Amino acid sequence: MTTKILMVCLGNICRSPLAEGILKSKIDSAKVFVDSAGTGGYHIGKKPDNRSILIGKEYGIDIEHQRCRQFSSQDFKDFDVIYAMDRNNYKALVHFAQNADEISKIRLLLDEVDLKVKEVPDPYYDDMEKFDEVFHLIDKACTAIAENLNKI
Ligand code: 4NP
């Protein structure tokens, strides 16, 4: 059976496309399906932010083919685990959820790792240094997720 994992941020152009690309690079696509979406609908159909594309390239992760989509209530049915990048995304997802089963699928991405920081910061109004920090935070969490999936 395939495990289905959805990465969620606000815009689906900066953080969650990186989370999708990074996790995909660490798992067997025959066993794990990974996608991403945004709680907001500002950039639907667009490519990821150029700065996310660039930082991905720097570390060998190609996300240029991805296209932005908005989270929908169907995602609660289609996915097993839904990772929020920050607490605002988490709250928005809880707000969309219609029952306890759906709420139980929502997790904060950085809860997968033991770090002081609990949220992947929104880098949209920041610089490449922030995108680099975001990449490494996501990468640590995705390593932990992939290790746990390999134990199943
Ligand atoms: P993301 O970053 O949630 O990591 O994709 C953002 C992208 C766009 C906006 C905010 C955050 N925006 O306000 O358009």
* Of the candidates 4, 6, 121, the residue with the CA atom closest to the CA atom of residue 69: 6
Residue-wise pLDDT for 30-75, tens only, equals: 999 999 999 999 999 999 999 999 999 999 999 999 999 999 999 9
Which of 66, 124, 126 for a ligand 1 pocket mutation test, highest count of atoms within 8 Å of Cβ? 124
Q: How far is the CA of 103 from the centre of ligand 1 (A)?
A: 23
Q: In what order do the strands lie in the sheet with 3-9?
A: 32-38, 3-9, 81-84, 106-108
- Rounded mean pLDDT, 119-130: 98
Q: Model confidence at 1, in pLDDT bands (50, 70, 90)?
A: confident
- The confidence score (pLDDT) of residue 152 equals 60
Nearest CA residue ID for atom 7, ligand 1: 11
The terminus-to-terminus CA distance of the chain in angstroms comes to: 11
- The confidence score (pLDDT) of residue 126 equals 97
Q: How far is the CA of 14 from the centre of ligand 1 (A)?
A: 6
Q: How far is the CA of 16 from the centre of ligand 1 (A)?
A: 10
- The confidence score (pLDDT) of residue 101 equals 98
Question: Taking the model in full, what pTM does it have?
Answer: 0.98
Q: Which atom of ligand 1 is nearest to the CA of 16?
A: 4
Q: Taking 70 as the threshold, does the pLDDT of residue 149 lie above it?
A: yes
Known catalytic residue at 14 = no
Q: Answer whether 122 contacts ligand 1 (Cβ < 6 A).
A: yes
Percent of the chain with pLDDT over 90: 97
**Angstrom distance (rounded) from CA 130 to CA 125:** 9
- Rounded mean pLDDT, 128-141: 98
Q: Are strands 106-108 and 32-38 parallel, antiparallel or unpaired?
A: unpaired
- Rounded mean pLDDT, 75-84: 98
- The confidence score (pLDDT) of residue 80 equals 98
How confident is the prediction for the chain on average, in pLDDT? 97
